[in-house]
Structure 1
Amino acid sequence: MTRPRTILLTGAAGGVATLLRPLLPAYGYTLRLADIRPVDGAGGTDCLTFDLRDTNAVREAVRGVDAVVHLGGISLEDGFEAVLDANIRGTYHLYEAVRAEGVRRVVFASSNHVEGFVPLTGRPLPAGEQLPVRPDTYYGLSKAFGEGLASLYADKYGVETVSVRIGSCFERPRTVRMLSTWLSPADCARLVHAALTAPDVGHTVVHGISANTRAWWDLTSARALGYAPQDDAESYATGLLAEHGELDPDHVDARFVGGHFTRTGLAP
């Protein structure tokens, strides 16, 4: 494929996008930012404010770009109607606009919560879509829908997508659990770049973590795209273990991929 240059970054005011925005231009990309709220620190960058439910605005945002990195929507559990509008209808509107405008590549921010009820046994867990879909929340269910939509649009319309099941993308791991799930900002940018430029991906599902010593997931499918992670959460292990201790093996954080998201009665 022709290397994309102009990228629409949805959810540009969110946590992961805020970490990515200063990193992606170094790979040669020009960013068009989009969010439902104004993007702080956008400066002179092309920046749009609209709701993903607005089909005309979504179509305008997609027009003229080479690819889309779709981080937009609700990033935690919420009531079903809110998740339905932002994550399910919003992602459908995005893919319809991509199809109509002839954009051929999407990087879709999926989540480990697609597989939240997968037990943490027999690690490392298999790579990518070899793991069963066992969502732990409406949020996880919406990401499973997004992956299914990406598969449909790849097969039916030739819109290629890499769906990245992100673990925990922060400046640094915040908990002992994140020693396994952390995706550093620099590695996130490396993975997004690989997902944007790898040839013939069809619809590919990969896990988004760094080269963590305690990693739960096999990264074979991500490495096949050209992803070469450089960071390891283990450099933060001494401090986190001194503060929190090792995970209790009977706690949900150590029993299931989704951790506390698998609890019943999780408040929206």
Structure 2
Amino acid sequence: MNGRAVGNTQGMAVVLLTGASGSIGHMLRHRLRDYELRLTDVEAGDGVEALDVTDGAAVARMCRGVDAIVHLGGIASEGPFEDVLAVNVRGTERVLQAAHETDVRRVVLASSNHAVGLYERGDGRLADDVPARPDSYYGWSKAAMEALGRLYHDRYGLHVVCLRIGTCTERPEHARDLATWLSPDDAGRLVGAALGADGFRIVWGVSANTRRWWSDEGGRAIGYEPRDDAERFKDEVDGPKDEDRLVGGDMVSRPLGV
């Protein structure tokens, strides 16, 4: 990890991980072995400290002595507008402001394919940084998070990487996942690469899938080398749906806020 480093007594960079009790947080805990992780979530337990990301003072206290932040905390699906605004958008602003105030120079933000969910899915060439076109309030909140990341990079020089995560699960379950799957191991590789990237970047969070719809240029630019391919599960998933022609899948047909 380049730039200012605090590190622990063994010289390992210290990374604050929000949303550590969520599904991706659990995956990353044992896959970022080169870092000392400070685990947080809205409720304490199992080595996780309690942290409400909408409480700016609490976030700032938790940021002291860390080198970087991986911000996964938030509402992970569609919900009422005021909820995703409060937690996903205001919570991200609190995290970025705390990083600025405590001189934490690197932040990785968990964005989503739903920030651009109303695009046609593409054939491997949809750019990492294609402009926002959200499919839901949830997707809008992720697009807003990306914009905040850009703001804090441009205003304060933070290195911010926004990961437009596809489908991060233990294994693919649906036909769409054969294109959008991000394996747990590749999630670790992706976040590890993002922690060392300079500037402001938006990168697709997807494995080396044979059927991937999206560009791999952004990932290659930060040194992300995915190894897994969802194709080995092709005989175990259900069939395609009409909504699969769009990046956001069936999210595009759900009522807003539900």
Contact 1:116 1:136 in 2 (8 A): yes
2:246 alignment partner AA: F
1:124 alignment partner AA: G
Matched residue SS, 2:212: coil
CA distance in 1, matches of 2:256, 2:132: 20
Shift of 1:132: 2.6
Corresponding residue for residue 204 of structure 1: 201
Corresponding residue for residue 127 of structure 1: 127
Contact 1:118 1:132 in 2 (8 A): no
Counterpart pick for 1:10 among 10, 15, 18: 18
CA distance in 2, matches of 1:189, 1:197: 13
Matched residue SS, 1:68: strand
Corresponding residue for residue 95 of structure 2: 94
Shift of 1:78: 0.4
Correspondence list, 1:22-37, <5 A: 22-25=30-33, 28-37=34-43
Matched residue SS, 2:215: coil
1:132 alignment partner AA: P
CA distance in 2, matches of 1:77, 1:125: 27
CA distance in 2, matches of 1:142, 1:9: 20
1:222 paired with 2:219, answer yes
Corresponding residue for residue 10 of structure 2: none
1:262 alignment partner AA: V
Shift of 1:126: 2.4
Regions of 4+ moved over 4 Å = none
CA deviation string 1:208-237 (max 9, x = no partner):
000000001111111111111110000111
Shift of 1:105: 0.4
Corresponding residue for residue 255 of structure 1: 245
Q: TM-score, length-normalised on structure 1?
A: 0.90
Contact 2:173 2:236 in 1 (8 A): no
CA deviation string 1:54-105 (max 9, x = no partner):
1111111111100000001101000011111100111101111000000110
Shift of 1:153: 0.6
CA distance in 2, matches of 1:91, 1:190: 23
CA distance in 2, matches of 1:226, 1:48: 31
CA deviation string 1:108-131 (max 9, x = no partner):
00000000100124x1132311x2
Matched residue SS, 1:168: coil
1:37 alignment partner AA: E
2:44 alignment partner AA: P
Aligned length: 250
Contact 1:74 1:86 in 2 (8 A): yes
CA distance in 1, matches of 2:62, 2:40: 8
Correspondence list, 1:75-224, <5 A: 75-121=76-122, 123-129=123-129, 131-198=130-197, 201-224=198-221
Counterpart pick for 2:235 among 231, 234, 238: 238
Matched residue SS, 1:213: coil
- In structure 2, relative to structure 1, the CA distance for the partners of 1:257 and 1:192 (3 Å cut) is same
Shift of 1:267: 5.6
1:148 alignment partner AA: A
CA distance in 2, matches of 1:222, 1:255: 23
Matched residue SS, 2:228: coil
CA distance in 1, matches of 2:235, 2:250: 23
2:118 alignment partner AA: F
1:223 alignment partner AA: R
Shift of 1:183: 0.4
**Structure 2 unaligned regions, length at least 5:** 8-12
**Structure 1 unaligned regions, length at least 5:** none
Corresponding residue for residue 38 of structure 1: 44
Contact 1:84 1:142 in 2 (8 A): yes
CA distance in 1, matches of 2:121, 2:88: 27
Q: TM-score, length-normalised on structure 2?
A: 0.93
